[in-house]
Chain A
Amino acid sequence: MARYAMVTDLTKCVGCQACTAACNSEWDVPPGHARTHVRPTGAVGKFPDLRSAFYVAQCNHCDDPPCVKPCPSGATFQADNGIVKVDRNLCIGCGFCVQACPYEARYLNPATQKVDKCDFCASRLERGRQPACVTTCTAHAKYFGDLEDSSGDIYRMVYTRGARRIESGEVKVGPNVYYLGRRGEPQLVAAMFPPRLPKLPAAGEWWSKVVKPLALALVGATFAGQAVAFFTQLRKGEGQFDE
């Protein structure tokens, strides 16, 4: 089974947003949303010693995806090839996964009211095509392939050219989108856009911490009460009740 990964060369990227536009068009993403964003760091430093880079952000298809566990219906899942997908038939739009993602890679599609995100253009892959963002990238800065194929570009970029993950001290969930850069662009991006801690919205917290234990306790207590009653009934015999 393949382990799909993407590498974006930030030295080549010019932030033109062709990837975003191609993706929005490919997937009918409504205006104002995106499955892949281009976020400029802006100029960092003191004039004229400045640095800047573009963070080409998307779902990282993490090894340990924090978005899967909070999905109540199991709509979000990870396929064997590592692609984290949202089954649109199962999604109810509760948004627990949206807040859980450290990379802000998910959004609620206002047209379908379901959560949407990058799936590495899984349906294109099935037809032997590369993701839409990769084929259109004007700077030829995006690469996609199998991380386990030791003869492939991705393997080489990750294991010999030192493509990096965007991680922080607290958040290490094994992202599979890597960044190359000769001028320290990935480090700059990681510093400016550190992944946030995965969090569960209040409703989810209440559910797992309060409602579920209470519900189980209530049903359990009722059950116990009835068990007592049942045994009382057995002990005393049925006739006792039919006075």
Chain B
Amino acid sequence: MSSATQVQPPLRDLSQRMIKKHHVAIILLHWFNAITWLIELTTGAALISSEHFRFVPVWFVTMITEVSGTRANLLRFHIAAGLTWITVFAVYAIFGWQTYFHQEVLEREVALDKDDFNWLRIRVLRILGRSNEPLPPQGIYNAGQKMFALMVYVMIPVIMGTGLVMAFHWGPMTLVGWAVVLHFAAVAVVVSGLMVHVYMGAVFPEEKPAFFSMLTGMVPEEFAYKHHHKWWKEVKMLEELHAAGLAEPRPVPRPSRLAAALRMKEHWPGYWAGFGLGLTLLATFLIVGQGLGASGGFTRYLAFVLSLVAPGYASAHPYWSNYVQPGQPVLMDFLVFELIGVALGGVVSGWLAGHLKWTTDKGPRISPRTRWALAFLGGAISGAGARLARGCTSGLALSGGSVLSAGAFVFMLSVFAAGFIGAYFLRRIWL
């Protein structure tokens, strides 16, 4: 035990009360990181196929290669996942610099004090059953976690840098050659730390609350009291001082609207969202080779249902045969997957922003039932219209407009005109 003055714990409450440990952004980042590591380790291991350097069995290489289709796909996937990882970390580092990075990482995750060094020594001995000495008090992260964080923060830039060198062939052959080796070595170091990390988090009984905190963000106060005593004291003192009106809560820098929006607490500003949509569209063109769309995807779903129910009719029909061809998977289309992604993304962002609830958006004068009936009617009309126009507001107006298709502009003008007129006649539904 430390010699510092012990604050008396209100022991009764400790096991019931939960205190907040992790911000939701940290939780998301953690799991994003975990998934990325899993993907990159698996694909990376399979990518090193050379006889000289391979360290996994051939069957593993073959299996992963076959799952990817070709080795080129495997490499592309590895690079794409790595670039996503780098991008997310970059966004986190830039927008979260003040809030998380500076305080969390530099002050609380990495800096080791005397207690930490003692803790490390005793912890190891205790695990090995060689000591019963009590552990020194710890901050929000214990010394083991700090050690791991420190190692990770040193190795991640190495992994990212060497990865970029390999992916984009930056520099002469010798540099790329060494990048391969460094990439491998840095990953090996992280992996050995990761093994301890995963073991402590998922298997080691004492740290189970820490594991759950990575899902809920909360830890039982009792756990904090026992394992992160210094942090617990800090939290308590702040609470008490605040309650006594003796201190302001730690000043939090006022975030900009965009920064706030990126933290998903409110709607994005319209212009920023439009810009983002444009970038999404550009990315879609670059990655998939086509634009965004909506009605086309629904048409595919319908064609799929039709091909199940009446395949002969569908493949002979002049319109449906565009979608239904023997031997061709009907759903093998970008829009199909895009629509699933749109739905999932909507749910996730709504959830993150706390906007997720069951509701029927309607005008005050109509009942939910009328609203649903009108939505269905309106949807049917727009669906038919979209097919007539060979596209909807997404596929035709947005994607078409972005490539300056004349049809897109005619369509948009018509939509605005019809909307303007229709809104007048239908205003009672909404007002």
Partner of B48, one of A73, A89, A228: A73
Residue from the set B75, B169, B177, B205 with the largest chain A CB neighbour count within 10 Å: B177
Given contacts A73-B48, A90-B75, contact A238 B188 (CB under 8 A): no
By the criterion CB–CB under 8 Å, are B195 and A203 in contact? no
Given contacts A69-B50, A216-B55, contact A98 B71 (CB under 8 A): no
Mask: chain B, 153-188; 1 = CB below 8 Å from A; 0 = not: 000000000000011110001101111110011001
Given contacts A92-B180, A242-B206, contact A219 B188 (CB under 8 A): yes
By the criterion CB–CB under 8 Å, are B75 and A96 in contact? no
B180 cross-chain contacts in A, Cβ below 8 A: 72, 92, 94, 203, 207
Mask: chain A, 46-89; 1 = CB below 8 Å from B; 0 = not: 00000000000000000000000111111000000000000101
Q: Interface residues of B, CB < 8 Å — how many?
A: 42
Given contacts A200-B52, A212-B55, contact A207 B174 (CB under 8 A): no
Q: How far is the CA of A73 from the CA of B61 in the complex (A)?
A: 11
Partner of A95, one of B47, B53, B176, B199: B176
B191 cross-chain contacts in A, Cβ below 8 A: 219
Mask: chain A, 177-196; 1 = CB below 8 Å from B; 0 = not: 00000000000000000000
For residue A126, give the distance in angstroms from its CB to the closest CB of chain B. Answer: 18
The majority secondary structure among interface residues of chain B is: helix
By the criterion CB–CB under 8 Å, are A232 and B127 in contact? yes
For residue B210, give the distance in angstroms from its CB to the closest CB of chain A. Answer: 13
Interface size class of A (residues with CB under 8 A): 35 or more
Given contacts A69-B52, A215-B185, contact A94 B129 (CB under 8 A): no
B51 interfacial by beta-carbon distance below 8 Å: yes
When A and B form their complex, what is the total count of cross-chain residue pairs whose Cβ atoms lie within 8 Å?
Answer: 132
Given contacts A203-B180, A204-B177, A238-B205, contact A90 B52 (CB under 8 A): no
Mask: chain B, 29-70; 1 = CB below 8 Å from A; 0 = not: 000000000000000000111111101000000000000001
By the criterion CB–CB under 8 Å, are B128 and A113 in contact? no
By the criterion CB–CB under 8 Å, are B52 and A230 in contact? no
A123 interfacial by beta-carbon distance below 8 Å: no
B205 cross-chain contacts in A, Cβ below 8 A: 233, 238, 241-242
For residue B147, give the distance in angstroms from its CB to the closest CB of chain A. Answer: 13
Closest to A220 in B: B192
Closest to B72 in A: A89
B429 interfacial by beta-carbon distance below 8 Å: no
Closest to B167 in A: A92
- Extra contacts, 7 of them, besides A98-B173, A203-B174, A207-B52 (Cβ < 8 A), are A69-B50, A89-B72, A90-B75, A201-B177, A207-B184, A216-B188, A226-B196
Residues of A within 8 A of B (CB): 69-74, 87, 89-90, 92-96, 98, 108, 112-114, 200-201, 203-204, 206-208, 211-212, 214-216, 218-219, 221-223, 226, 228-230, 232-233, 236, 238, 241-242
Going nearest first, the 5 A-B pairs with the smallest beta carbon separation are A95-B173, A113-B169, A215-B188, A89-B72, A203-B177
